[in-house]
Amino acid sequence: MTAGAPRRPTIAVIGLGAIGGVVAGTLAALERHDVTVCVRSPIERLVVERPQGLVEVQPRVLTRPEEAAPVDWVLLVTKVHQTASVAPWLARLCGPGTRIAAMQNGIGHEAHLAPLVGPATVVPTIVYYNGERLAPDRVRIRPAGGYELAVRDDAGGRAFAELLDGSPMRILRSADFATLAWRKLLLNAVANPVTALTQQRQAVFRRPDIQVLCRSILGEAVAVGLADGAQLAPDEVERIMAALLSYPPEAGTSMYFDRLAGRALEVDALTGAVVACGERHGVPTPVNTALLTLLRAVSDAATG
């Protein structure tokens, strides 16, 4: 750094998979930040395939938490069931001024993360783009809908959005983040289980019989969301169906790729969250409960 030049924001990305790889590559390509990736296996470079063209970057790579020091931003981009395993990274990277963008599907991340982040502030972030990991050092983004990301319209959310200023990422700032988080959970309640259980990419949602199933999953989940305080619309089921069908047919889902690879599924944070919330509010969820049972059996067999 030259004398007098402003200090570059420091950003550590934990979870260099489909979503983390895209955001790490996008941030590093801006050349405004010091981007570090925290990984289990080192990489030489990171390539992001975007509709705007390829980006190739060489972020700083750390493989051991002991090498890490507090940063301005941590981007937490593991699956939710992997969060506990990154506690040693969080312990080293989080200081009083650190903000943590929780770029994970599901709801309630501030509460889940509170025991792990010490004095740092959690900034929940919704991810709409579809990511696919093609190799440990290569990812692809498939955008869908009007935005790639959404944040709360508060100081933390706005600061996160500023990190990506000048990039192709379109970021929604919302005064009703809780409702957006529920809408994203509704999308995941159909997209992820159906692709994982059928082992088919999102083309499967073009089938009329699958659409009937999706509407029953969503009918229950919308009732749960409303009971939980989300401001969902009277035609919410159809809105989510339209959002689902806005993804390209060749897109997978995060759970589909885990199923293909024989990894544990992020089931408790998604279908599990709908069922657990339904139980709390006394809203029956028989279809989602059946999916939960099937997904847990698949996931347990994979890790067994």
Ligand X SMILES: CC(C)(CO)C(=O)C(=O)O
CB count within 10 Å of CB 260 equals: 12
Closest by CA to 90, choosing from 15, 155, 34, 27, is: 15
The minimum distance between CB 2 and ligand NDP, in angstroms, equals 33
Q: According to the binding rule CB under 6 A, does residue 170 interact with ligand NDP?
A: no
How far is the C-alpha of 185 from the C-alpha of 226, rounded, in Å? 13
Q: Which range, of 42-50, 77-85, 186-194, 281-289, touches ligand X by CB under 6 A?
A: 186-194
Phi, psi of 125 (to 5 degrees): -135, 130
> Cβ closer to ligand X: 32 or 263?
263
Q: According to the binding rule CB under 6 A, does residue 63 interact with ligand NDP?
A: no
187 interface partner picked from ligand X, ligand NDP, none, CB below 5 to 8 A per type: ligand X
- The answer for residues whose C-beta is within 8 angstroms of residue 111's C-beta and 6 or more apart is none
Looking at beta carbons, which residue is closest to ligand NDP?
A: 17
How far is the C-alpha of 32 from the C-alpha of 20, rounded, in Å? 18
Site string for ligand X, 116-135 (x = CB under 6 A): --------------x-----
Q: According to the binding rule CB under 6 A, does residue 19 interact with ligand NDP?
A: yes
- CB-based burial, 101-114: b 16+ in 10 Å, e otherwise: bbbbbbbebeebbe
* DSSP 8-state class, residue 69: -
Q: Which of 131, 157, 193, 225 binds ligand NDP (CB under 6 A)?
A: 131
Residue 79 falls in the annotated catalytic set: no
Q: Which of 81, 184, 201, 259 is catalytic?
A: 184
Q: Which of 22, 187, 230, 273 binds ligand X (CB under 6 A)?
A: 187
